[in-house]
């Protein structure tokens, strides 16, 4: 009997649900789940949650307290449905503040522990800025696992590996978006997709140098991108694309295969090298800034919703 693409994919890569939708997580049975401010906003706006959100908002000491309480509440519910990690994001406003990121990450872990969920189940999501990577380095030393997100460049990937972070999330679709806008007539199909090329380069570099950091492809625009990365450590996929995979019985071939490390890791980047490499990469610089703005914009919308609920 033929297996659907999603079942085949699960035999090659750890499938992660990119959603805060509890019903979708129940349906697709992923190993892990990731959230971000945009997904938390979507989940918070579901009609069945408004009464509970109002209760959280009224009990909170301020809006920041309410935001983290909502994120951890949804994350805790998700954790009961998946056996692996749940990713919860630090406020995007803190993307350039190492100390504030550290404080917020520790606070999130404490909140999860009060819900009976240990730090080993949580990935703290942090934007892959220099300041965010420095914070992740310290958090990993404290036993707090991190997911470095909004990752668009090899320089970011190298710095994350140097810092010993648990997992990185290269954004496949957003890399493609930028390149299609820049060169609208170019052929970016199949293996020509620049987002696919980016993830493969990172994956091969990590495996070839013995880094333990997990590579999780993210931000997919279509199932063809997912199929092209079959075998990647992890793939975080939206419910709509999970559904497409589950409906297809095409044959899936492994595209990425782990290899034994052949050489030792290169010398770690310093801050000047990192910033120069980012400056040289217009796509990564622009998409990182855009991503931070987008997450912050959705956070403001959630703040507005919680503020209104506090006053009801």
What confidence tens digit (pLDDT) does each residue in 263-290 have? Answer: 888 899 999 999 999 999 999 999 999 9
| 1 band by pLDDT with thresholds 50, 70 and 90 | low
Whole-model pTM? Answer: 0.95
Total domains in the fold of the chain = 1
**How far is the C-alpha of 2 from the C-alpha of 113, rounded, in Å?**
43
Query: Which CATH number covers residue 298?
Result: 3.20.20.70
The rounded mean pLDDT for the chain is 94
Residues 97-110, mean pLDDT to the nearest whole number: 98
Domain of 89 in residue numbering reads as 5-310
CB 76 within 8 A of CB 115: yes
Active site residue 180: no
CA-to-CA distance for 115 and 206, rounded, in angstroms?
A: 35
Q: State the DSSP H helix or E strand holding residue 86, giving kind and residue range, or none if neither.
A: strand 86-89
pLDDT tens profile 123-159: 999 999 999 999 999 999 999 999 999 999 999 999 9
For the record, the structure tokens of 13 come out as: 């890569």
Catalytic residue, candidates 125, 182, 287, 304: 125
**Residue 226 in this model has a pLDDT that exceeds 80:** yes
């Amino acid at each position: 009997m033929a297996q659907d693409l999603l079942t085949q994919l699960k035999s090659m890569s750890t499938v992660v649900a990119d959603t805060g939708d509890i019903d979708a997580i129940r349906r697709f049975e992923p190993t892990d789940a990731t959230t971000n401010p945009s997904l938390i906003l979507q989940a918070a706006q579901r009609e069945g949650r408004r009464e509970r959100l109002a209760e959280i908002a009224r009990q909170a000491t301020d809006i920041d307290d309410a935001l983290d309480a909502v994120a951890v509440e949804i994350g805790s519910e998700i954790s009961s449905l998946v056996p692996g990690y749940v990713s919860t994001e630090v406020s995007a406003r803190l993307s350039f503040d190492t100390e504030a990121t550290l404080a917020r990450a520790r606070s999130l872990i404490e909140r999860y522990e009060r819900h009976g969920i240990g730090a080993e189940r949580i990935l703290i999501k942090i934007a892959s800025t220099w300041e965010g990577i420095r914070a992740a380095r310290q958090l990993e030393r404290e036993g707090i696992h991190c997911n470095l997100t909004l990752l668009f460049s090899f320089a970011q990937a190298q710095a994350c590996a140097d810092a010993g972070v648990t997992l990185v999330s290269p954004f496949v679709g957003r890399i493609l978006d930028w390149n299609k806008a820049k060169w609208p007539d170019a052929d970016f199909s199949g293996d020509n997709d620049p987002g696919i090329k980016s993830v493969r380069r990172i994956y091969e570099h990590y495996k070839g140098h013995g880094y333990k950091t997990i590579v999780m492809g993210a931000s997919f625009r279509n199932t063809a991108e997912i199929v092209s990365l079959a075998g990647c450590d992890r793939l975080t996929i939206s419910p709509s694309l999970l559904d497409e995979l589950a409906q297809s019985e095409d044959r899936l071939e492994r595209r990425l295969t782990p290899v034994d490390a052949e050489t030792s890791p290169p010398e770690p980047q310093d801050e000047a090298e990192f910033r120069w490499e980012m400056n040289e990469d217009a796509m990564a610089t622009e998409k990182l800034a855009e991503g931070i703005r987008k997450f912050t914009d959705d956070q403001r919308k959630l703040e507005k919703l919680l503020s209104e609920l506090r006053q009801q």
